[in-house]
């Protein structure tokens, strides 16, 4: 008698598991507002920049979104050219590039992400005056032109 129930019970367990699996997978997916959050952190405003920095400092709160927080900062350029602290601005720029590429929405957002970098750099430069500010502004313009003209629209390469 036990054997008669074993097969139907096993079939029921398999069917129930299969029915529940899509629900478990869906709940593990990124929240529906992921692109809205990404957009809010990649605008040109100081408020957007500050929100990004706060989120970056509390990445654990954003785990469900699956954001790529990795950065090489200013890539092959100095992170702090002539002592100007551009590192955080470059980090946000990397964040925008990497996450929009992963979402398949990069080309439509590239110009804004590049402009956000430039605005971030200009805010750094605004803390200086005189010739130092002029030098900083010129360096910011060079950094912006580099990413604007040479920033890759190619999809992000998968990690090895």
Active site residues: 93
Length of the chain: 160
How far apart CA 36 and CA 96 sit, in angstroms, is 12
| Assigned token pair, 156 | 């992000």
| Residue pointed to by tokens 């502004």 | 137
Separation in Å, CA 155 to CA 46, 108, 150, 151 = 28, 13, 14, 11
């Amino acid at each position: 008698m036990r054997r008669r129930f074993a097969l139907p019970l096993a079939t029921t367990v398999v069917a129930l598991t299969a029915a529940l699996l899509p629900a478990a997978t869906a709940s593990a997916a990124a929240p529906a507002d992921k692109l809205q959050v990404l957009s809010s952190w990649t605008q040109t405003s100081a408020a957007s920049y500050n929100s990004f920095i706060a989120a970056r400092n509390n990445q654990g709160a954003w785990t469900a979104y699956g954001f790529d927080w990795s950065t090489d900062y200013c890539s092959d350029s100095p992170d702090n050219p002539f002592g100007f602290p551009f590192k955080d601005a470059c980090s946000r720029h990397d964040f925008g590039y990497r996450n929009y590429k992963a979402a398949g929405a990069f080309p439509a957002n590239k110009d804004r992400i590049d402009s956000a970098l430039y605005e971030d750099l200009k805010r750094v430069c605004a803390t200086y005056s005189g010739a130092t500010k002029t030098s900083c502004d010129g360096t910011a313009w060079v950094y912006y032109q580099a990413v604007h003209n040479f920033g890759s629209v190619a999809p992000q390469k998968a990690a090895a």
